[in-house]
Structure 1
Amino acid sequence: MAAFLRAARARIRPEDVGLRGGGRRRTPGLRRQEVAELAAVSVDWYIRVEQGRVGAPGSAVLDAIGAALRLTPAEREYLHLTARGEAPPRRHVAAPVSASLRAVLDGMPLLPAYVVDHRLDVMAWNGAASALFGAGFGSGRADNTARLTFLDPESRRTQLTWEQFARETVGALRSASARHRDDRRLRAVVAELRAGSREFDLWWEDRTVRERSHGSKRIRHPVGGELSVCYDLLAATDGSDQRLVILTPADEATERAVRLLVADYSQGAVGGPNQVLRAARTA
């Protein structure tokens, strides 16, 4: 940790952080006193840090030092791992769905896929998702998968493994609420669900925490019949807390049914068979 901080300090010019150069310096970069002032810590304590003569600093102090040294997200994580042996708390970076992630959606015309944020708001989706979940997916009450699961009666009828998936949804929101305690939109979603669903309110109180990454479920589709699908959630690493959700057929019958649903939907979609409908929302 001490060696890393010294190297990070040496590469920062005073002008980079709004300080005056102040003439010639014996060594490049910031002085220890300047880092301490920028991080709002005592100079003596910071000197001991760079000399390796202190224990593990607190997470907030490490973040203050990291901000003073203009550390990148990867460097911030490295500092925390080196100093404390654990990753830092994740920061949410509000951002729209990236062009590359949208291209991934475009490139999966036969696999229903969509992007959600930590609130389970639907950020973008492809035509196959609309074919499976309906043309209204991503808008109205269906603009949030938790609201769709708990507040839409049709969802309860079509989700044959509803309770399992619903409990996972509660656990995912509980986990997100710990990472984003000041998120008003997240609090509003939870409050709406607690007021509108007895099951959600009950399961929210049992304090279940769950990070959903994969699973399976059965769906009763009005045209395709009973479908068995697997789902995988792939997390973005840019701090946006976005997840790409991909559904894949669990058996040959489901694969054939999904292909037919996508083909029928594509024929009716404006713009050709690979038209992708997506949201232009931001976090």
Structure 2
Amino acid sequence: MDGDRRKVLGDFLRRVRARVRPESVGLPVGQRRRTPGLRREELAQLCGISVTWYTWIEQGRDVSVSPGVWARLASVLSLTRAERVYLFELAECADPEHDEDHVVPLPAHLADCVHSISAPAYILDRCWNVLARNAPLLSLFQGWPDRDAEPNLLRYIFLDPAARELVVDWDQRASRVVAEFRADAGAHVDEPDVHALLTDLRQGSNVFAHWWTRHTVVDRAGGLREFHHVGQGILRYQQITFRLATRPDCKLVMLLDAP
């Protein structure tokens, strides 16, 4: 973590500490306070860390802080969901008590958004489960994902023979897909949903198992995507991917016609 990021993190903690009412965390009321909110020593005690160490965190010093400590700070400070995500992004580590958004049904308005798009479009969660898709996507993938009870893009690419027929240059795309997924899920490989998916893929696909051991990491960037459609021949698209602000565990993918 660089110095500027540590300073921003310290300023953020100081601001949210100042808004916490002592009585909300079980401290006695009625005491005269020079500053609003919790004192540093009070917050440190509530989180089970030394006040000196916490002071260094707020001062932006280069100290090592475990994910568990960040989680306790987030809890005591009653951070909102967005604030908690922001805290762990600044801290550059995974939240050990991560939001379980990935098991919550996608809000209807986000699914409606996908259906309003004229190009093939779909929403993936962090395990690349397909949470929403529109009719053009269904047509392009020739009935998938509707033919799977729990459609997952990785299982489709590596375990469904239809993917090899549909995706042009399947071998090249497959290697990049593994690297993209590692970038998405690398911090969560020990969590049950990600671990179960990885186990299935490693056992079911030698190609996935091979590329997973390479530890290559790339962003899910846009670019040309080509498909061999049975009825329409070669179809060319530019892939565009957006992270959803209201569901940071999810991304919206669109396939726009390419010349």
Common topology (TM > 0.5): yes
Aligned residue in 2 for 1:71: 79
2:103 is aligned with 1:99: no
The offset of 1:188, in angstroms, is 1.9
> Which aligned pairs between 1:138-217 and structure 2 lie closer than 5 A?
138-140=146-148, 143-217=151-225
Cα displacement string for residues 46-86 of structure 1 (whole angstroms, at most 9, x for unaligned residues): 45655x495445253444334322234555576678xxxx5
In 2, Cα distance between equivalents of 1:54 and 1:153: 53
Deviations, residues 106-162 of structure 1 (Å, cap 9, x unaligned): 221x21100111211111111111121123414427711111111111210121121
Counterpart amino acid of 1:164? Answer: Q
TM score, norm. by length of structure 2: 0.80
Counterpart amino acid of residue 214 in structure 1: G
Q: Structure 2: which 5+ runs fail to align?
A: 1-6
2:245 alignment counterpart: 237
Q: Secondary structure of the equivalent of 1:244?
A: strand
Which deviates more, 176-185 or 62-71?
Answer: 62-71
Name the counterpart of 1:14: 22
Number of the residue aligned with 1:227: 235
| Cα drift, residue 176 of structure 1 | 3.3
| Counterpart residue type for residue 102 of structure 1 | A
Counterpart AA for 1:94: E
Q: Which residue of 1 aligns with 2:4?
A: none
Aligned partner letter, 2:33: R
Q: Deviations over 1:174-200 (max 9, x none)?
A: 223422133222222222222222211
In the TM superposition, what are the counterparts of 1:42-121 in structure 2 within 5 Å?
Answer: 42-47=50-55, 52=59, 55-60=62-67, 61-72=69-80, 75=83, 87-91=91-95, 92-95=98-101, 96-108=105-117, 110-121=118-129
Residues 199 and 79 of structure 1: CA distance in aligned 2, closer, same or farther (over 3 Å): closer
How big is the alpha-carbon RMSD for the aligned residues of Structure 1 and Structure 2?
A: 2.8
- Conserved 8 A contact 1:115-1:242: yes
Q: Does the CA-based 8 Å contact 2:17-2:38 persist in structure 1?
A: yes
- Paired residue type of 1:22: V
How far apart are the structure 1 equivalents of 2:149 and 2:155? Answer: 6
In structure 2, relative to structure 1, the CA distance for the partners of 1:74 and 1:213 (3 Å cut) is same
Match of 1:122 among 105, 130, 148: 130
- Report if aligned partners of 1:161, 1:217 keep a CA contact under 8 Å in 2: no
Structure of greater relative contact order (alpha carbons < 8 Å, 6+ residues apart)? 1
Per the alignment, do residues 138 and 189 of structure 1 end up closer, same or farther by CA in structure 2, a change over 3 Å counting?
A: farther
Deviations 1:26-59 (A, max 9, x none): 2332233321122111234445655x49544525
Distance 1:162 1:185 in 2: 26
Tell which structure's C-alpha radius of gyration is larger.
1
Q: State the secondary structure of the residue aligned to 2:92.
A: coil
Secondary structure of 1:140's counterpart equals coil
Q: Could you say what secondary structure the match of 1:173 adopts?
A: helix
Local SS of the residue matching 1:22: coil
5+ residue gaps, structure 1: 252-283
Helix, strand or coil at the partner of 1:143 = coil
| Pick aligned residue for 1:25 from 24, 32, 48 | 32
Measure how far apart 1:228 and its partner are: 0.9
TM-score scaled by length of structure 1: 0.74
